[in-house]
Amino acid sequence: MRLNNLLIIVLLISITLMSCEDSGFVATGKLENTKAQTIVFEHLSSRKITPIDSVRIDENGEFKLVTELKGIGFYRLRLAKNNYIPLLLDSNAQKIEVTGDASSLPTTYTVTGSKGSEKLLEINRFLAQSSVTIDSLNKAFYMAQQSGANVDVINEKREQLMNKANEQTTFISEFINANKSSLVTLSVIEMLDHNQYINTYIEVADALEQEYPDLEYVKSFRARVNDLKRLAVGTEAPDLVLKDIEDNPIKLSDFKGKVVLIDFWASWCGPCRVENPNVVRVYQEYKDKGFEIFGVSLDKSKEAWKEAIQQDKLDWKHGSELAFWNSSFVKTYDLQSIPMTYLVDKDGIIIAKGLRGPSLEEKLAEIFGS
């Protein structure tokens, strides 16, 4: 090959690389405590995680990754399964810089050059600090209960825990309200109780749909909100057709004419069993005033289900498919965890959700009188 031709090829390669860097996405970083590691750049859709590119980190902890984005959305720079830097990128984020401790990226990273990623860092940093405090208060509350501390001490610990949890909810709510049309809201909105904040869910879906009508994340969230609206207070409770302990059919619609608490529970659910004495107490108080309970179990074993009903003295009607989380009503009633309750009026309309303990007592007193 002639020298002139070789120079031309080298020049063309250089121009191509420069052009790629100018038109593509560049992430540079300096990480502490790295050991000859590779950092992977991944795209997160609402359904899967797709590796896009990767680069080796040098002996000084530095790296430079030049690649292409798959459009606006969530990405991450990952060292290991749970050790990564979350990113929210769009066409305005052509170059970003990150720092952090490679031994714990989620709690130590910083990012500049991307407004979405900086917002994501803001909310993640708050949640990390808040969660540590809540965990500590939760342990203190539990220890006070277990040690037999007096009622005033236990109530003080409970109040501290609830205040911190309310503070976290308030921060998340305010953050979302200030960023309704940003995809960053999708990273935290599920931390808000959709029973209480359904209007916020709807407003965020509307704002995002106006800003990004064709984006997969937004379409997926809209479908989620539509499901939540289907079960909102004021809508008709979907009918339940199950089998009782004796294998006879039992339906929610059989209870029309009474105020019904649909109590989703299971014999294997510790919090459900702890709550059961409270439910028994309110049932005894209001059952002669037009109040009924329909216990819907996620059990697998008929014997365990039957034994728990007897042990906890759950003297009301029960139904189950004995199919655990594969039960058809899990999807119908959007069950994410149990215990979960739906309070339905005499016409089968949902009037409250998620009531337990004092909140259940207060609602029933409001309906029937104390």
Confidence of residue 149 (pLDDT cuts 50, 70, 90): confident
Confidence of residue 370 (pLDDT cuts 50, 70, 90): low
Query: Does the pLDDT of residue 304 top 90, yes or no?
Result: yes
Return all residues near 196 (Cβ < 8 A) that are at least 6 apart.
none
Strands 38-44 and 49-56: antiparallel
Distances (CA, A) of 157 to 149, 171, 266: 11, 21, 29
Which CATH fold would you assign to the domain 241-368? Glutaredoxin (3.40.30)
pLDDT at 11: 36
Which CATH fold would you assign to the domain 20-112? Immunoglobulin-like (2.60.40)
Burial of 163 (0-12, 13-18, 19+ CB in 10 A): exposed
For 38-50, how does the pLDDT look when each residue is reduced to its tens digit (9 = 90+)? 999 999 998 899 9
Provide the strand spans (E) within the chain: 25-32, 38-44, 49-56, 62-67, 73-80, 83-89, 95-101, 110-112, 241-243, 249-251, 259-265, 291-297, 317-320, 340-344, 350-353
Mean pLDDT of 2-30: 53
Round to whole Å and give the CA distance between 2 and 99.
46
Confidence of residue 336 (pLDDT cuts 50, 70, 90): confident
What length does the chain have? 370
For 22-69, how does the pLDDT look when each residue is reduced to its tens digit (9 = 90+)? 448 999 999 999 987 899 999 999 889 999 999 999 999 999 999 999
pLDDT at 28: 97
The 10 Å CB-count burial string (b at 16+, else e) for 233-248 is eeeebeebebeebeee
Q: Flag whether the pTM goes above 0.85.
A: no
Confidence of residue 194 (pLDDT cuts 50, 70, 90): confident
Confidence of residue 12 (pLDDT cuts 50, 70, 90): very low
Q: How many CA atoms lie within 13 A of 109 on its CB side?
A: 28
Q: How many CA atoms lie within 13 A of 327 on its CB side?
A: 26
Q: Where in the chain is the domain with CATH 3.40.30.10?
A: 241-368
Contact (Cβ atoms closer than 8 angstroms) between residue 235 and residue 311: no
Distances (CA, A) of 152 to 134, 183, 357: 20, 44, 19
Query: Does the pLDDT of residue 165 top 60, yes or no?
Result: yes
pLDDT at 159: 84
pLDDT at 21: 41
Mean pLDDT of 75-98: 93
The 10 Å CB-count burial string (b at 16+, else e) for 173-205 is bebbeebbebbbbbbbbeebebbebbebbbbbb
Tokens 């795209």 correspond to 43
Round to whole Å and give the CA distance between 93 and 113.
6
Round to whole Å and give the CA distance between 139 and 157.
10
Mean pLDDT of 284-294: 95
Q: Where in the chain is the domain with CATH 2.60.40.180?
A: 20-112
5-9, 78-82, 133-137 — which is least confidently predicted? 5-9
Task: Of 45-49, 146-150, 301-305, give the range with the top mean pLDDT.
Answer: 301-305
